[in-house]
Copies of this chain bind each other. A is one copy, B any other.
Amino acid sequence: MLTQSVVEKIKGAIESGALPAGSAIGQQQLADQLGVSRQPIRQALPLLIAEGWIESLPNRRLLVRELAVAEIDEIFAIRRLLEPVALAASIDNASSAMLRRMNFALTEYEEADTPAELESADVAFHEALYSCCSNTTLLRLIEQLRRSLKRVYELKALSRPLHKAAMAEHRKLAALCKQRDARGASTVLIAHLDAAQVALSKARSAATRKVTRGRRPTGNDA
């Protein structure tokens, strides 16, 4: 079915920044860009609107939805509730396969060169972390929340020290999983989430300032 692939491609374009937040889009334009007719686009749109990727203006214009800072915080608040529970449950009935998957993702993360590799290794690690939580609805929910943040993540993909820190936290998590210390792992996970949140909001406010003033106020990047 073309519709499904169109949905994924549009999501990918939004995540990658090819369709920047706030930009207006038309059905025909999307269709041309993806090399399909308008029909699959039209089937994809209601889904994308319902999932919050695209906003439908009253003028029946469409634009890529912006994620407000407040909304990012809201999502993190929910993740803080759900992910520690998923992790604890996952540790309780952890399989050896889970530990293997975790370790694999860990090394992938360490050896990643490109931001894309980093990203996919990170996703793989967290998926492995929760994989044994035996609540697939919860898994889907967590995945959805993480993905809705993804389009803001590439900002973060620049900073080296943050990745170092994240890697250390991942290693700590893996160790605690091996020891089956659900309580300890949850604590570390919450810290991990908080760190990601402040990193994100910092990167975002910096980016906003950049846009507003045309240039960063201070500090060397790159």
Contacts and interface: CB of A to CB of B under 8 A. Distances in A.
Contacts of A137: 71, 74-75, 78
Nearest to A7: B46
A43 B4 CA distance: 12
Nearest to A144: B141
**Copies of this chain per assembly:** 2
Interface string A54-88: 00000000000000000100110110011001000
Contact of A82 (B46, B75, B81): B81
Which secondary structure characterizes the binding site on chain A? helix
A3 B43 CA distance: 10
Interface string A90-123: 0000000000000000000000000000000000
A132 to B, nearest CB: 14
A136 interface: yes
A141 B142 CA distance: 12
A89 to B, nearest CB: 9
User: 7 tightest A-B contacts by CB?
Assistant: A74-B137, A74-B135, A47-B47, A46-B47, A43-B46, A81-B81, A43-B43
13 contacts: A3-B46, A43-B46, A44-B46, A47-B47, A47-B50, A50-B51, A74-B136, A74-B137, A75-B137, A77-B135, A78-B137, A78-B138, A81-B82
